[in-house]
Amino acid sequence: MRSLAGGQRGFAVPTVMFMLLAAFSVVSIGVVASIQAQSGSVRDQQTKSALTSAEAGISQALLHYNGDFTPPASQPCLVPSGSFVGAAGVQSGGWCAAVTGSDGAGTFTYQVKPTAGTIEVVSSGNVSGVTRRVDVIAKSVSGQQVFLDAGVKTQNGINLDANAAIHSGSATGGDLTLASNSKQCGLASVGVGHHLTTAGNAAYYQQMGCTTQLNPSSVTQQDITLPPVNQGDAATHNDNVRITNAVAANGPSPKDLISGNKSDVTWNATTRQLTVKNNSSLTLTGQTYSFCKLTLKSNSALYIAAGQTVNIYFDSPEHCDVPPGTLPVDDSRHPELGTTQMDLASNSRITSATGTPAKVAIYFVGSQTRLTNLLMSSNTQIAGSCVQNFIIYAPLTHIELNSNSQYCGALAGQSLHMDSNAEIFTDTDSQAFVLPGTAPHYAVSQFVECTAASASPPNTGC
């Protein structure tokens, strides 16, 4: 028995050692797995940061080309030189010299290929040896015929109900929804992956005359890009003083014309807010106006002087709301739509002073972060004769038409809702409208990621 006990004591030592070794192996596997997971997380973070750095290069290039400086045709490249940007000629294949920089997390290198109305930018970002490369194509928004294929356009969707009707081709990047006897009369397109749907006796027709009914599933799907509004220096160089002189007692010339009770035309030159009411009217005699808010009500009118072409710009809510509260969210009817910058109601109208075709374009700068809205309701009429060049262009602003409102011309917005017998008509003159040829301003139309390795030409592998 003593011999057996001694043998067992000799066996216990290696048993304990094997147990300790097994435990150490298990712990080691966990440690290695943890280290590998942490390493993967670090690389994933570096990959994301490298993409951010590449995008920073794209942003810097667009910032330079969207400035007020237009390079000569012989030197189309904009290349930073210290704190300035200079013009330079292209290199091999039409590409500009490489530009390098840093965004704090990593470095970037980009090259630009400028062509007529388009720039292509390829940018590589590098963070701790991890590289990502992207290719962006941006098109100039100046001089585009945005309504050539459709008189009604929106970025995010069109919604019609309660007997509303569009007598024009339509295009949206979202869905086109028809309900409650509404009509889309004219070929339409929706965004990729989106649909045209009908309910409650609503219908989709091929012609503006609403004769040949189409299957909603036949609608075309395609992307749509509405360039942002480039108002140039309209906010500071305009004909607003003509309104100031018109409302002032014995105001000097030049001045716009007031018909009716002068006290029914309220104008604040500082806040750029105009209100006309109670059967009175204001005739615009200038060419360029800058507003923050326009309110027409109670049979009032904003007339365009005979033979005059007028551009009205609505500045961004950020520029208008200084100090805060100057341009509040004050529309109790549609608070979800933000600030109403144009409110036409109660038989108000915008048209020519003589009944002849009016040539007027109304632009809304809008905002990427603050909701804006324009509202036409209660028998509002916008140029009742559909033989004119009448434009509303508001790519970042929601448009609301209701209560027997009628619009004639071409219209573009972020989104559109129509109800209560509201109607839109169009004409060939409006569809031929061209965005103003202001200083070059480029909007991104294509973004793709390339293989990480740099190549020649720069867009190889994209």
3-state secondary structure of 405: coil
Please identify which residue in the block is written with the tokens 């490249």. Answer: 77
Residue 453 pLDDT grade (very low, low, confident, very high; cuts 50, 70, 90):
confident
User: How high is the pLDDT of residue 4?
Assistant: 46
User: How high is the pLDDT of residue 302?
Assistant: 94
User: How high is the pLDDT of residue 37?
Assistant: 45
User: How high is the pLDDT of residue 71?
Assistant: 82
User: How high is the pLDDT of residue 284?
Assistant: 97
* Mean pLDDT, all residues of the chain: 87
CA dihedral over 284, 286, 288, 291, signed as positive or negative: negative
Q: What does the alpha-carbon distance between residue 430 and residue 30 come to, in Å, rounded to a whole number?
A: 70
Is the separation of the CB atoms in 227 and 146 below 8 Å? Answer: yes
Contacts of 161 (CB under 8 A, 6+ apart): 178, 179, 180, 182, 200, 202, 418, 419
Span 15-26, average pLDDT = 62
Span 35-53, average pLDDT = 71
pLDDT in tens, 357-402: 778 999 999 998 899 999 998 877 776 556 556 899 999 999 999 9
Check whether 39 has a pLDDT greater than 70: no
Distances (CA, A) of 36 to 26, 44, 128, 283, 320: 15, 12, 18, 74, 54
- Of the given ranges (6-15, 97-106, 332-341), which has the lowest mean pLDDT? 6-15
Q: What does the alpha-carbon distance between residue 78 and residue 87 come to, in Å, rounded to a whole number?
A: 5
Check whether 213 has a pLDDT greater than 80: yes
pLDDT in tens, 265-282: 999 999 999 999 999 999
Tokens of 391: 């434009």
Which secondary structure element, helix H or strand E, spans residue 204, and what is its range? strand 203-205
User: How high is the pLDDT of residue 1?
Assistant: 44
Tokens of 425: 């008509």
Check whether 460 has a pLDDT greater than 80: yes
User: How high is the pLDDT of residue 190?
Assistant: 97
Half-sphere exposure (Cβ direction) of 67: Cα atoms closer than 13 Å? 17
More confident residue, 133 or 37: 133
Span 83-95, average pLDDT = 89
Check whether 354 has a pLDDT greater than 60: yes
pLDDT in tens, 401-445: 998 888 988 999 999 999 999 999 988 888 788 887 655 678 787
- Of the given ranges (212-216, 255-259, 263-267, 346-350), which has the lowest mean pLDDT? 346-350
More confident residue, 444 or 460: 460
Contacts of 286 (CB under 8 A, 6+ apart): 238, 239, 242, 254, 256, 308, 310
| Verdict on whether the full-model pTM lies above 0.85 | no
Span 131-150, average pLDDT = 85
CA dihedral over 381, 384, 386, 391, signed as positive or negative: negative
More confident residue, 245 or 141: 245
Check whether 156 has a pLDDT greater than 90: yes
Check whether 42 has a pLDDT greater than 60: no
User: How high is the pLDDT of residue 437?
Assistant: 62
Q: What does the alpha-carbon distance between residue 53 and residue 32 come to, in Å, rounded to a whole number?
A: 31
Tokens of 355: 């009944």
Residue 14, exposed/middle/buried by CB under 10 A (0-12, 13-18, 19+)?
Answer: exposed
Span 65-83, average pLDDT = 82
User: How high is the pLDDT of residue 195?
Assistant: 97
Where do runs of H (alpha helix) occur along 321-358? none
- Of the given ranges (71-75, 109-113, 198-202), which has the lowest mean pLDDT? 71-75
Q: Which of 320, 311, 254 is nearest to 287 (CA)?
A: 311
Q: What does the alpha-carbon distance between residue 57 and residue 13 come to, in Å, rounded to a whole number?
A: 65
Span 331-351, average pLDDT = 81
Is the separation of the CB atoms in 106 and 123 below 8 Å? Answer: no
pLDDT in tens, 287-312: 999 999 999 999 999 999 988 899 99
Is the separation of the CB atoms in 182 and 163 below 8 Å? Answer: yes
Q: What does the alpha-carbon distance between residue 13 and residue 46 come to, in Å, rounded to a whole number?
A: 49
User: How high is the pLDDT of residue 41?
Assistant: 62
Q: What does the alpha-carbon distance between residue 145 and residue 389 come to, in Å, rounded to a whole number?
A: 13
Tokens of 45: 């973070």
3-state secondary structure of 281: strand
User: How high is the pLDDT of residue 438?
Assistant: 57
Tokens of 414: 């972020």
Tokens of 401: 């038409």
Residue 156, exposed/middle/buried by CB under 10 A (0-12, 13-18, 19+)?
Answer: middle
User: How high is the pLDDT of residue 432?
Assistant: 82
- Residue 113 pairs with which residues in a beta bridge? 120
In the chain, % of residues over pLDDT 70: 85
User: How high is the pLDDT of residue 140?
Assistant: 77
**251-256 long-range CB contacts below 8 Å, 24 or more apart?**
254/285, 254/286, 255/285, 256/282, 256/283, 256/284, 256/285, 256/286
Residue 75, exposed/middle/buried by CB under 10 A (0-12, 13-18, 19+)?
Answer: middle
How is the chain split into domains, by residue range? 53-142+442-450, 152-431
Q: How many CB atoms lie within 10 A of CB 413?
A: 28
More confident residue, 448 or 15: 448
Check whether 212 has a pLDDT greater than 90: yes
